[in-house]
Amino acid sequence: MNYLGYVIGAYAVFAAVLLWDVIVPQLQIRRELRAARLRAARDARSAPPAEPLELNR
């Protein structure tokens, strides 16, 4: 009996799943960081201008 094809297939599936577990979270983090940056920029544009921090006498 020759199980070489089965073993190679099993290792290929394992490597694909392992790669998937590394890549997908990175993509999700990148997407969430981009959304946070866009939200912060949108909030900064819509916020009224801040009052000056200097005291006037």
pLDDT of residue 47: 73
> What local confidence, expressed as pLDDT, does residue 45 receive?
87
In a domain, 5, yes or no: no
Unique residue bearing structure tokens 């290792």: 11
How many alpha carbons fall within 13 Å on the CB side of residue 19? Answer: 6
pLDDT for the residue numbered 49: 67
Count of the separate structural domains present in the chain: 1
| H, E, C per residue of the chain | CCCHHHHHHHHHHHHHHHHHHHHHHHHHHHHHHHHHHHHHHHHHHHCCCCCCCCCCC
- Domain containing residue 35: 16-44
pLDDT per position as a tens digit, 2-55: 899 999 999 999 999 999 999 999 999 999 999 999 999 998 888 776 677 777
Is 6 contained in some domain? Answer: no
Residue 56: inside a domain: no
pLDDT of residue 57: 67
